[in-house]
Structure 1
Amino acid sequence: MIAPTLENDRVKLTLLGMSNFENLLDVSSQKDLIQFSPSDISTHEKLKAYVQTAVDGYYHKTIIPFIIYDKQNQAYAGSTRFGLINWKNKVLHIGWTWIGKQFQGTGLNKHMKFLMLQYAFETLEFDKVEFRIDERNIASRKAVEKLNAKLEGILRKDTLMLDGFKRSTCCYGILKEEWPHIKQAVFKGFE
């Protein structure tokens, strides 16, 4: 599997690995950056372990992890990935997304999601893209809803968080046949 480089005028997504993860140390150490995630990236060693897990998934063809470069600000902004890739059923998840607080609310995330959705549906020709979000993470839920992803259900108390809390996870999805309308309505002018 060859990892794509996804790029437009605003953002460049390239393969995240052990050779470039240190570019994210300043961003990953921001307080409460991934408070709704069961992962911890707050130190060099914890970020390294997080990236190693992503790299292992890449070699098993179940994950494509990206490092995010914000071209407008000329800075590394965070990470995102395709995960839980099911090649047989043509379904994958977009998630594990975190960007530094200075990049949030700037439109960067929308540009990333466009590139990723376009690649999933138009290049990989997958049938469905899913998003899994902590029920309490209202900002992320609203962002995915703005993409016209449909709430398909809530998995109750399905994920153990670092503090011992069992979160409930909202499951959103976009189908391949919905993509042309979403591309036109939500991402008009992005190509």
Structure 2
Amino acid sequence: MRVPILETKRVKLTLLTLNNYVKLIAIAQEKDLIYYSPNTISSSEKLKDYVKVAVNGYLNQTAIPFIIYDKVKQQYAGSTRFGLIHWKNKVLHIGWTWIGHEFQGTGLNKNMKFLMLQYAFETLVFDKVEFRIDERNQKSRNAVEKLGAILEGILRKDTIMKDGFRRSTCCYGILKEEWPTIKTRVFSKL
């Protein structure tokens, strides 16, 4: 699988690997960074394990994990991923996204999502992009709704969290035929 480099004036997404993940150790240890995730990245060992899963997904062609570089701040900011890639059905998920607190609310995430959606629909020519979000994570739900993703349903109590809580997962989607309108309406100023 060809490794894409996705880039705007604001952000650069390159393949996350076992060689470059160390640039994210300090950010990964920020408090409550992935509170709504069933994963943990709170130590360098746990972050390495998290990256190993992402790399294995890449090797199995079911994921493309990215390390995020903020070109304005000239710093590595976090990680995101195409995951659960289903090549036959032309559906993938965008998720596993976390960026350091100082990068949140700066427009970085919107630039990343533009690049990822554009790549999924225009380069991979996929039919659908999905987002799965903890029902309690209103901040992330609001963000994907602003992108134009539609809530398709809620999987009730489908994921066990680190503390044993059983979360419900909101399933959002964007279809290929919706992308041109979303690209113009949501991303025209990028």
**TM-score exceeds 0.5:** yes
**CA-CA distance at 1:3 after TM superposition:** 1.4
* Structure 1 residues 100-142: Cα deviation after superposition (integer angstroms, max 9, x where no partner): 0000000000000000000000000000000000000000000
Distance 1:159 1:104 in 2: 26
Is the partner of 2:142 in helix, strand or coil? Answer: helix
TM-score, with length taken from structure 2: 0.99
RMSD: 0.4
Q: Which residue of 2 is the match for residue 115 of structure 1?
A: 115
**CA-CA distance at 1:2 after TM superposition:** 1.4
Q: Which residue of 1 is the match for residue 78 of structure 2?
A: 78
Q: Which residue of 2 is the match for residue 58 of structure 1?
A: 58
Distance 1:152 1:73 in 2: 36
Q: Which residue of 2 is the match for residue 161 of structure 1?
A: 161
Is the partner of 1:151 in helix, strand or coil? Answer: strand
Structure 1 outlier segments of 4+, above 3 Å: none
TM-score, with length taken from structure 1: 0.99
Distance 2:121 2:47 in 1: 30
Q: Which residue of 1 is the match for residue 152 of structure 2?
A: 152
Is the partner of 1:26 in helix, strand or coil? Answer: helix
Q: How many residues align?
A: 190
Q: Does 1:188 align with 2:165?
A: no
Q: Which residue of 2 is the match for residue 15 of structure 1?
A: 15
Partner AA of 1:24 in structure 2:
L
- Give percent identity, aligned residues only: 72
Partner AA of 2:151 in structure 1:
L
Distance 1:72 1:163 in 2: 37
Q: Which residue of 1 is the match for residue 41 of structure 2?
A: 41
| Structure 2, gaps ≥5 residues long | none
Distance 1:46 1:3 in 2: 25
**CA-CA distance at 1:189 after TM superposition:** 3.3
Q: Which residue of 1 is the match for residue 175 of structure 2?
A: 175
Q: Does 1:134 align with 2:131?
A: no
* Structure 1 residues 127-159: Cα deviation after superposition (integer angstroms, max 9, x where no partner): 000000000000000000000100000000000
